[in-house]
Amino acid sequence: MEKILIKLEKHITSAQEGLKKIDCEKKLDEFRVKSMGRKSQLTNILRSIKDLKTEEKVLVGKKANEIKGKLENMIENKMAELQKKKVSKLAETEWIDVTVPGKGHKPGHLHPTTQMMEYAEDIFQDMGFEIVYPNEIDDDYHNFTSLNMPEGHPARDAWDTFWTEEEHVMITHTSSMQNRILKSGSPPIRAIVPGKCFRNEATDARHEHTFYQFEGVYVDKGITLSDMIGTLQAFFNSFYERDLKVKFTPDFFPFVEPGGMVSLECVLCRGKGCRVCKYTGWLEILGCGMIHPNVLKEAGIDHKTYTGFAWGFGLERLIMLKYNIEDVRLFHSGDLRFVKQF
Amino acid sequence: MLISLNWLKQYLPELYEEPETIATKLSESLAEVESIKYVGRGLENLFIGQVKKIGKHPKSEKLTLCTVNDGEKDRKIVCGAPNVSEGIKVVVVRPEGVVFNASEKLNSQSLFQITEREVAGVKSQGMICSMKELGIAEDHEGIWILPENSIVGQNFTDLIKDAIFEIENKALTHRPDCFSHEGIARELSAIFKTPFKTVDAKTPLFPTQKVDLKIELRNQELCPRFSAIVITNVKIQPSPIWMQLRLMSIGIRPINNIVDATNYFMIDMGQPMHAFDYEKIEKKKLIIRNADDKEKIKTLDGVERKLTREIIVVSDPIKVLSIAGVIGGESSEISEKTKTIVLESANWEMFNNRRTARSLGIRTEAGTRFEKGQDPSNTQESLERAIHLISDIAGGEIASEFIDIYENPVEKRKIVFDLNAVKKILGIDVSKEEILDILKHLGIEVVGAEKLPTKLLTHSEGNKVELTIPTFRRDLNITEDIVEEIARIYGYEKIQPTFPARSIGAAKKNVLREFIIKVKRTLSALGLDEIYTYSFIGEGDYKNVNITTKGLIKIQNPLAPELSYVRNSISPSHLAKLEMNLKNFEEVNIFEISRVALRDKRKDGLPEQPIMMNMTFAERGKNEKIYMKAKGVVDELLEILNVNDLKFVNIKNTTNNNPLWHPARSAKIWSGETEIAMIGEVHPSVISNLGLNGSVCIVEFAIEDLMKVSKKDASYTPIPGLQKIVRDLTVWVAREVEVQEMLEAISENRDKLISKIFIKDIFEGNTNSKTKKNNRKSVTFTIEIQPFNKALLDEESNKIVKQIFDILEKKFRAK
């Protein structure tokens, strides 16, 4: 029994010595196995206890557990010490170049018209307008006749039209949906129609045969022209995130009466006058007016009870102003050098 | 449209506003004034003179020394113009006078002061001016020779100075009356509340002799009114200088006094007129009729034109003399020898007039006015005014009765107008007095104004008056039209913005829009750039991608051959953009969502126009894995869109032989029973047609179909309490075996404890080698087993994996 006790004492002393030399976690693990594992001396010693007498067993067992606990403590302390050391050295041992480009998809770019359209749609949606999308090809009735422009009407000249061989129209404005929208529900009707339109005109930096238009209609009891000005002003204030002046000047569109143009205080010079606004301080932005009674009648809406307004503006113009884009033909060029900037 | 301020003042004697103010007000109340051009601004000391004598210049062969009387005195003036001759009338600038610098461009407005100075050694007391020096035209070849009847000594500076407004006439489509100085003047009278001076009725002139002329009007519908008169013994000569200046200032070239007179009243009153040479009218009979299909006429612009039955003409019994209301013919043109004229002032139906001008491709000042719908009441007055002017400037005697065929005179329209409509439509209060005053200035008569209450009461029935609309305002038909008149003259700028009252309900969302936004956002996050391309396409771009244009809808009037069709697929547009983009970028990953047009018809008769999405992946050089790149994006997109039950079917195994696609590297994508997309490399011949040295893979989605199979909501099952067991299984199979087949075979007989099986790895060895061994690939499946009642023993999971292996072995000879 004495022998065993001495062995245990010796084991712990030599362990203490051995521990001092250990300088990394891996070696400490090996040490743990060597000094406490199944094949360790300590285990051997403990196995030999079974040969002792009962009283001795108790004594030695107690001592052995004490040694084992001590050993575990020592190893744990050492571990803590090693880890502390390691952490303090991390800066040297685990440095990486944090500026190297990351891995994964390089994000793509959404077309500026998509972005602008979504932005404007969201504002109108918040104002209670439903979003409706137009056809690309529509019939004469929806593009012209239902909008108080019967066949042969001289105003049709203002819309240089592409005709398909089937005598359909490449829509010249998104007002092509107006009759359908007015027919589809009962007032109050609030809807916007953003979409692709076509005009048969020669292209240059300012003109494009394919472009995006944003049409809107509002029909209810008691709607007035001043409501229209207020609504459009509210939209532009939200769109440009500041208070802007708007003004209404007369113009002629067969589907509105009174009809006109809404101009916006020049967003670049804030109304002082600059090259872009031709030194007028105003930008002509959209055509609008009170929906003509004939248009309401055509859609089966009682024009004596209800009034409404409608407007339409081109999206490209706003985008060009925002980013200072000089050539409208870039929008449909498919040129990635353009798209990748947005 | 150009409008002269001097001309306007003929009607508005008390208008003293500055041109800028007039322009601003016109823009606010009628139509945009795009620019103001100041004619003769800066010119000084100009007078009309006459060249009395031409002497030789002592030192120069090219120069002459002229004696010119300018009304003040005879001046010795050195002149270098080749066209100077004795007796001619000219514009003289006296010393210290100012003209435009002829060596600068006409529109530079650069001025030049004249002094008494020596020219080649001889003193010159002024200068004889060219048109360019007066700022009228670019002509500087010689001096400007004035008509003989010009008055020597007249102050030319006063005559020429004017302000010309350029008015955007698009906004006046509905205002035929405003295509004239009289009409614009009437507007200004209302805007500035200044008196409008009607032209004094002249003493009527009576015929002093009578020549033969018959008129036969065969189409009343297309010619509501035909007025004419014969004037004989006219002297054809240049118009007086004031009239030439008027016409030139608004862009019309003076021709001779008769033609100028007809043009003058067209610009003055908006009523186009036409003069025929009486001698050239066969049988002295004018017939107004529809042309025959084979008839021809050589028009005043020298072009021979074929006519059709829809076109209305003025003819004699033998030939067509003019295309009515559009352009005259050469055969009856006024010439220097003309002695007798027939002056026509007629009204032509607007729709037919417009169709005629368009079908013949002629745009004339006359057509521009008639197609807006001129007032038939105008023909008589314009003819009367013209007779007086012509007798002043061309002499002559009236040689016929006043011919006037007018079966159905237009009547003045009456509108019952409720003054409350102003508030109802505009949302502002305009006083009764203001409303009545505006109506009066616009020439609208009001009956019943005295019965109106002193203050307008809303919801009262007693606010109605009866309006009588002048015949020249054919655009005023309904209450709303009248409200617009009041609004624009009152001033739109006085309208304060308000908001409509509405409930707080949110707008109904457009689910298609939300879906498209999600797709676009996802694709851009996955590295794709969005481009926009035209809906139009040409034969070439389709040929390049091996597709015929048979299925495409054709445009009748395309802008260019490459824009002749409406596309039925976005791919050809995108493939056409690759060459340019691959020049600038090594890799091109693009997409677009747009409608396309099919020949199939919808219920409403319009072409089917599905919303399609194209993705195109292209790289410079050969990339064998480009399909995988595209499929990777598709897989990720479909996962985000929650589209399940996917199946890729290689077109090699189908009858699809669309030559756009690579025959063995293309697949249709199905979700359950719905075909949602096509993915594949493009056919190698397409790549060479496009002149590309690269790899291209495209994907075509039908967005509406995709949306149908995209599950909006995720489904939830409770998280199991037991740990799942994950096993890998690697098998060797022939290279041709598709992993999809293997997965399907496994799923058919799968143990219900298997929660998921997916491909972890595929190893193909050297695919170039043709040896039998290398024609195989190893596929590693990861199998997830989810026990739910009790934990599984090793043997049990082994059994499940073994079952899978057995299936693969049996079906695909897997090892």
Q: Which residue in A135, A223, A340 is closest to B529 by CB distance?
A: A340
Query: Residue A129's closest chain B neighbor by CA?
Result: B507
Asked if residue B52 and residue B33 are part of one domain, the reply reads: no
Q: Which residue has the tokens 């010490």?
A: A81
Q: Is the pLDDT of residue B521 over 60?
A: yes
- Looking at the complex, does the CB of residue A185 fall below 8 Å from at least one CB of chain B? no
Report yes or no on A125 lying in a domain.
yes
Q: What are phi and psi of B389, to 5 degrees?
A: -65, -45
Asked if residue B629 and residue B552 are part of one domain, the reply reads: yes
Asked if residue A31 and residue A127 are part of one domain, the reply reads: no
Report yes or no on B674 lying in a domain.
yes
Asked if residue A116 and residue A86 are part of one domain, the reply reads: no
Residues of A annotated as catalytic are 159, 173, 199, 213, 256, 310
Domain total in chain B: 6
B485 contacts A221 by C-beta, under 8 angstroms: no
- Looking at the complex, does the CB of residue A129 fall below 8 Å from at least one CB of chain B? yes
Token pair of B41 as six digits: 């601004």
Is B484 close to A339, i.e. CB distance below 8 A? no
The DSSP letter of residue A308 is E
Asked if residue B292 and residue B381 are part of one domain, the reply reads: yes
Domain total in chain A: 2
Instruction: Check residue B201 and give its pLDDT.
Output: 67
- Looking at the complex, does the CB of residue A106 fall below 8 Å from at least one CB of chain B? yes
Asked if residue B281 and residue B265 are part of one domain, the reply reads: yes
Is B478 close to A257, i.e. CB distance below 8 A? yes
Domain encompassing residue B669 = 511-709
Look at strands B529-530 and B587-595 and give their pairing: parallel
Q: What is the pLDDT of residues A165-216, one digit of tens each?
A: 999 999 999 999 999 999 998 899 999 999 999 999 999 998 999 999 999 9
Report yes or no on B208 lying in a domain.
no
Asked if residue A121 and residue A63 are part of one domain, the reply reads: no
Burial zone of B517 (CB within 10 Å; 0-12 exposed, 13-18 middle, 19+ buried): middle
The DSSP letter of residue B680 is E
Average pLDDT over residues B610-621: 96
Chain B positions in Cβ-Cβ contact with residue A221 (cut-off 8 Å): none
Which domain-ending residue is among A66, A93, A120?
A93
- Looking at the complex, does the CB of residue A143 fall below 8 Å from at least one CB of chain B? no
Question: Is residue B181 helix, strand or coil?
Answer: helix
Query: Residue B428's closest chain A neighbor by CA?
Result: A226
Å from B777 to nearest chain A CA?
A: 28
B667 contacts B648 by C-beta, under 8 angstroms: yes
Report yes or no on B209 lying in a domain.
no
B672: left (phi over 0), alpha (psi -120 to 50) or beta: left
Chain-centroid distance of CA B180 in Å reads 24
Is A230 close to B499, i.e. CB distance below 8 A? yes
Residues 288-317, chain A, touching B (beta carbon < 8 A): 290, 292-293, 307
Report yes or no on B550 lying in a domain.
yes
Report yes or no on A98 lying in a domain.
no
Asked if residue B35 and residue B48 are part of one domain, the reply reads: no
In one letter, which amino acid is B645?
D
Instruction: Check residue B262 and give its pLDDT.
Output: 96
Report yes or no on B474 lying in a domain.
yes
Is A129 close to B553, i.e. CB distance below 8 A? no
Q: Which residue in A218, A249, A252 is closest to B28 by CB distance?
A: A249
Cα gap B278→B210, rounded to integer Å: 13
Average pLDDT over residues B368-374: 93
Asked if residue A225 and residue A84 are part of one domain, the reply reads: no
Specify the CATH number for the domain of residue B450: 3.30.56.10
Report yes or no on B253 lying in a domain.
yes
Cα gap B355→B359, rounded to integer Å: 6
Query: Residue A168's closest chain B neighbor by CA?
Result: B606
Q: Is the pLDDT of residue B46 over 90?
A: yes
Asked if residue A293 and residue A179 are part of one domain, the reply reads: yes
Instruction: Check residue B269 and give its pLDDT.
Output: 94
Asked if residue A58 and residue A148 are part of one domain, the reply reads: no
Residue B482's pLDDT band, with cuts at 50, 70 and 90, is very high
Is A252 close to B510, i.e. CB distance below 8 A? no
Å from B753 to nearest chain A CA?
A: 35
Chain A positions in Cβ-Cβ contact with residue B373 (cut-off 8 Å): 154
Token pair of B429 as six digits: 């209060």
pLDDT above 90: percentage of residues in chain B: 74
In one letter, which amino acid is A85?
K
Token pair of B265 as six digits: 């009243």
Asked if residue B181 and residue B133 are part of one domain, the reply reads: no
Specify the CATH number for the domain of residue B740: 3.30.70.380
Which domain-ending residue is among B376, B405, B434?
B405
Asked if residue B379 and residue B234 are part of one domain, the reply reads: yes
Query: Residue A156's closest chain B neighbor by CA?
Result: B173
- Looking at the complex, does the CB of residue A280 fall below 8 Å from at least one CB of chain B? no
Report yes or no on A275 lying in a domain.
yes
Q: What is the pLDDT of residues B194-213, one digit of tens each?
A: 999 987 767 777 888 889 99
Report yes or no on A107 lying in a domain.
no
Q: What is the pLDDT of residues B70-84, one digit of tens each?
A: 998 999 999 999 999
Query: Residue B429's closest chain A neighbor by CA?
Result: A226
Q: Which residue in A110, A155, A230 is closest to B173 by CB distance?
A: A155
Instruction: Check residue B602 and give its pLDDT.
Output: 94
Q: What is the pLDDT of residues B709-765, one digit of tens each?
A: 999 888 888 888 888 989 999 999 988 889 998 998 888 877 888 888 999 999 886
Chain B positions in Cβ-Cβ contact with residue A190 (cut-off 8 Å): 502, 507
Look at strands B162-167 and B2-4 and give their pairing: antiparallel
Q: Which residue in B484, B497, B525 is closest to A107 by CB distance?
A: B525
Total beta-carbon pairs less than 8 A apart between chain A and chain B: 251
- Looking at the complex, does the CB of residue A101 fall below 8 Å from at least one CB of chain B? no
Q: Which residue has the tokens 């519908």?
A: B221
Asked if residue A221 and residue A265 are part of one domain, the reply reads: yes
Average pLDDT taken over every residue of chain B:
91
The DSSP letter of residue A101 is P
DSSP letter for each residue of A152-218: T-GGGGGS---BBTTS-EE-SSGGGGHHHHHHHS-SSEEEEEEEEEE-----BTTB-SEEEEEEEEE
Cα gap A92→B489, rounded to integer Å: 82
Report yes or no on A57 lying in a domain.
yes
Is A200 close to B557, i.e. CB distance below 8 A? yes
Peptide bond into A188 cis (omega under 30): yes
Optimal mutation site among A110, A133, A197, interface B, most CBs of chain B within 10 A: A110
Å from B614 to nearest chain A CA?
A: 13
Asked if residue B253 and residue B110 are part of one domain, the reply reads: no
Which domain-ending residue is among B493, B526, B545?
B493
Report yes or no on A270 lying in a domain.
yes
Report yes or no on A102 lying in a domain.
no
Asked if residue B173 and residue B287 are part of one domain, the reply reads: no
Report yes or no on B198 lying in a domain.
no
pLDDT above 70: percentage of residues in chain B: 98
Optimal mutation site among B369, B370, B425, interface A, most CBs of chain A within 10 A: B425
Instruction: Check residue B459 and give its pLDDT.
Output: 64
Asked if residue A219 and residue A186 are part of one domain, the reply reads: yes
**ipTM of this predicted complex?**
0.82
Crossing angle of helices B19-29 and B479-490, rounded to 10°? 150
Report yes or no on A8 lying in a domain.
yes
Sign of the torsion formed by the C-alpha atoms of B765, B768, B770 and B771? negative
Asked if residue B613 and residue B598 are part of one domain, the reply reads: yes
Asked if residue B467 and residue B518 are part of one domain, the reply reads: no
Asked if residue A191 and residue A322 are part of one domain, the reply reads: yes
Å from B45 to nearest chain A CA?
A: 34
Is A230 close to B555, i.e. CB distance below 8 A? no
Chain-centroid distance of CA B363 in Å reads 16
Is B580 close to A293, i.e. CB distance below 8 A? no
B171 contacts B32 by C-beta, under 8 angstroms: yes
Q: Is the pLDDT of residue A2 over 90?
A: no
Report yes or no on B154 lying in a domain.
yes
Chain A positions in Cβ-Cβ contact with residue B607 (cut-off 8 Å): 137, 164, 166, 168
Is B425 close to A258, i.e. CB distance below 8 A? yes
Q: Is the pLDDT of residue A45 over 80?
A: no
Which domain-ending residue is among B386, B405, B424?
B405
- Looking at the complex, does the CB of residue A157 fall below 8 Å from at least one CB of chain B? yes
- Looking at the complex, does the CB of residue A249 fall below 8 Å from at least one CB of chain B? yes
Asked if residue B352 and residue B435 are part of one domain, the reply reads: no
Specify the CATH number for the domain of residue B585: 3.30.930.10
Is A111 close to B530, i.e. CB distance below 8 A? yes
Domain encompassing residue A31 = 2-93
Q: What is the pLDDT of residues A78-118, one digit of tens each?
A: 888 888 888 888 888 888 888 888 887 789 999 999 999 99
